[in-house]
Amino acid sequence: MRRNGKAFLTGLLLVGLYLQPVGAQTLEGDSIGEVTVRARKTWSNMTAATPTQVMDRSRMEKIGAHDVADAVKFFSGVNVKDYGGIGGLKTVSVRSLGAQHTGVCYDGVAVSDCQSGQTDISRFSLDNVSLLYLTIGQGDDIYQAAKLFAAAGTLNIETLQPQLTDDQSWQTSARLKTGSFGMVNPSLMHVQRLSGKTSLSAYADFLRADGNYPFQLWNGEQLIDEKRNNSDIRTWRAELNLHMALTKRQDLRAKLYLFDSERGLPGSVIYDNTYAVERLYDRNYFGQLAYENRFSDTWKLKAAGKFNYTWNRDYNVPAAGVTDDRFKQTETYLTATIYGEPIRHLAVSLAQDFAYNDLSTTLRNCQYPERFSYLTALAVRYNSSRFTATASLLNTYITERVKIGEASDGFKRLSPAFSLSWKPWAENLRFRLSYKDIFRVPTFNDLYYLLIGNANLRPESTRQWNAGITWNHSFSPLLEYVGLSVDAYYGSVKDKIVAVPTMFIWKMSNIGKVETIGTDINLQADLHWTDGWETNLQLSYNFMQAEDVTDRTSRVWRNQIAYTPRHSGAANCTLTTPWLNLSYSLFYASERYTSSYNHADNRIAPYTDHGLSLSRQFVWKRHRLRVQIDALNLGNKNYEIVRFYPMPGRNYKLTFNYQF
């Protein structure tokens, strides 16, 4: 499998070198050709009944985002856990619920990991992404797979689609990023029209970096200089996409995705011990096929299938001796959704999913678990110019079996959700209310990992309430747009899965309870000074009080849970001119604690991160060259997001993007 996988990857990359990327936009004044590209409707945060935050490709470029995590940090209510360095793992948690409660969707199909339950978003490149949008709770889009109803929040990643003009048969884009700590990241993308109804796009990129950045730390009362080590990374990515318009009402899309990486895990820095030799090898290959049939103006159906293969190797040389652990997962996933609008303003959908997952490892006493998941979602939406109401019911039925030992009894649950949005006056003012009762199934690690796994675990159950107000207005040709959203929320988690010590070993148990209250505030303003001169302002603030309410007699009662700041926010100001675009970004997070015991010994200091981005685009005929320079962490602070994992100080990146 290893030899075949490398051969397949090499072949696809060679195709990518001959073909390659789509640009962010079509050329000004040109019309779209015969290939019709359809994407799922994205609801604006101003009109959605649940918090929905959207960032398109143009916005990502203006703020200087280089990877998915950089862009997601601008969303309010989101905590990105970053283990430092270019190759550091990055996961997303929504409103303190944990990364296992955040679903990730890639081009309409869910991404999953039954072993850990969380997705490392650093494996996705931003170079071929056209849109990111985050939905908290159950969104207004009911034309989706049942699996997307099964998460507390969902991060949707949409890749670039072919956009060829009538007189174009192909388009190519090449990008090169380079920067501090030995980073080099070339990528290529090509789009080819095979016929009037069929197009092919290929994308490939390579990333390498030493990642051994300098940092400072306190050793007692002395500030000493150190250098991160074992932070190198080598990563290959490739995608091949086929888009076919079978008829005017039928579309077919196929995707092949390959990811292969080797990285060092720099480990935690405790006092002045920077020793780290642990290596992580990741391979992820998947293929997916999606079909849509719009039977009529009121009824349509879409179906998709996916096969996913994931292989990981964790190699380390600790004091106790060499460890070399390997893990293999496969997933077979099928989904179908039928959607209709039987009467005016009313829409209904029925979605059915099936998934098969298995895990094998080289660990001693591996139980070789298998999981069979059946999910059914029924949803109804009423939508008018002033009122939107959505209700859904998800049925989850999961069975498991193992080759060795005891399997769990499976999981069965009905999960309701509803949302309301009301526009009482002609003014663009809306009130919204939403509720979602959902749960996350224990992972294979929770249930079966060595001696700490517990096959009798119950799912973690969450309840989310959100009440908010949105308003937007255009005051004048100068102040083109002002948008404001304010949301207050309450959430609770029961049967939280945590590791607790027993007589001789640690064991996973359902003993945790968490209660969260908070507020998200988002403000956006667009100013148009004159032709070619614009300013965009974006502010987000989040207050989050997420407290441990497991045991009134415990010393951690009503303490803030680990790694959750009470106050956080982001700001961006972008100035667009005919010659140069300038963007300034700011991130802030208040103090956090490494555990639910909020003692000074567990405190992580607050941090502020500033960044500056300059870009310019040169256009001649059909050629476009965009040059961007970024200065990151201008304050040169080695702050920590995760304890003992210092972030890089001031660093720089240079990007060239050539499209023809």
Least reliable range by pLDDT among 332-341, 450-459, 463-472, 567-576: 450-459
Average pLDDT over residues 551-565: 92
CATH code, domain carrying 148: 2.40.170.20
Q: Per the structure, how many domains does the chain have?
A: 1
Contact 624, 659 (CB under 8 A): yes
Q: Is 168 exposed, middle or buried (0-12, 13-18, 19+ CB in 10 A)?
A: middle
- Rounded Cα distance between 654 and 605, Å, is 30
Q: What's the rounded Cα separation, in Å, for the pair 615 and 176?
A: 14
In this prediction, residue 220 has a pLDDT band, given cuts at 50, 70 and 90, of low
What is the pLDDT, as a whole number, of residue 10?
A: 39
CB < 8 Å & 24+ apart, contacts of 278-282: 278/230, 278/314, 278/315, 278/316, 278/317, 279/230, 279/313, 279/314, 279/315, 279/316, 280/312, 280/313, 280/314, 280/315, 281/311, 281/312, 281/313, 281/315, 282/123, 282/310, 282/311, 282/312
Its pTM stands at: 0.87
Q: Is the pLDDT confidence value at 160 over 70? A: yes
Query: Tokens 């004044």 correspond to what residue?
Result: 29
Percent of the chain with pLDDT over 90: 65
Return the exposure string of 523-551: e unless at least 16 CB atoms fall within 10 Å of the residue's CB, then b: ebbbbbeeeeebebebbbbbbbebbbbbe
134-151 pLDDT tens trace: 999 998 999 999 999 999
pLDDT band at 438 (very low <50, low <70, confident <90, very high): very high
Mean pLDDT in the chain? 88
- Which residue in the block uniquely carries the two structure tokens 């309409």? 108
Q: How far apart are CA 652 and CA 43, in angstroms?
A: 35
The segment with the largest mean pLDDT, out of 167-176, 212-221, 250-259, is 250-259
Which residues are registered as beta bridge partners of 397?
Answer: 374, 412
Amino acid, res. 377? A
Helices marked H in 504-639: none
User: C-alpha 34: how far from its chain's center?
Assistant: 32
Domain that holds residue 375: 2-659
Q: Please, what's the b/e burial string for 238-263 (b: 16 or more CB within 10 A of its CB; e: otherwise)?
A: bbbbbbbbeeeeebebebbbbbbbbb
Question: How confident is residue 228, by pLDDT bands cut at 50, 70 and 90?
Answer: confident
CA dist 550 to 103, 356, 442, 497, Å?
Answer: 26, 34, 19, 12
The answer on pLDDT for 43 being more than 70 is no
Give the model's pLDDT for residue 42. 53
Cα angle for residues 342, 344, 346 (degrees, 5° grid): 65
